[in-house]
Amino acid sequence: MVTETFTVIHPQGFHARPSKLFVEKAITFPCKVTLFKGEKKANGKSTLGLLTLGIAAGDEIRLETDGEQEEMALKELGQMMTKIYEE
């Protein structure tokens, strides 16, 4: 299991489009992907899970990957949390 904390900068937060792209990426990895925002956590392979975390710009999100390819998943998914998306 590996984990790292990222700050989301996409101005609209992590909503419909970024969440969808994130999940599309996450499901390509065999490992478990979990996101933590404060006390709340969500399945990184579920858009609805991500949405219900209510991630806003500036939020610090802990990303945890567990299982096969966890290192690569952490790196690539981490990059997706810290970029700006075309809305």
Point out the catalytic residue in the list 4, 13, 15, 76: 15
Q: Does 12 bind other proteins (CB under 8 A)?
A: yes
CB neighbours of residue 58 within 10 Å:
10
- Closest to other proteins by CB, 1 vs 40, is 40
Say how far apart CA 9 and CA 32 lie, in whole Å.
24
15 is an active site residue: yes
75 binds other proteins (CB under 8 A): no
Give the residue, chosen from 32, 43, 66, 78, that forms a contact with other proteins under the rule CB under 8 A. 43
Whole-number Å distance between alpha carbons of 56 and 33: 20
Active site residues: 15
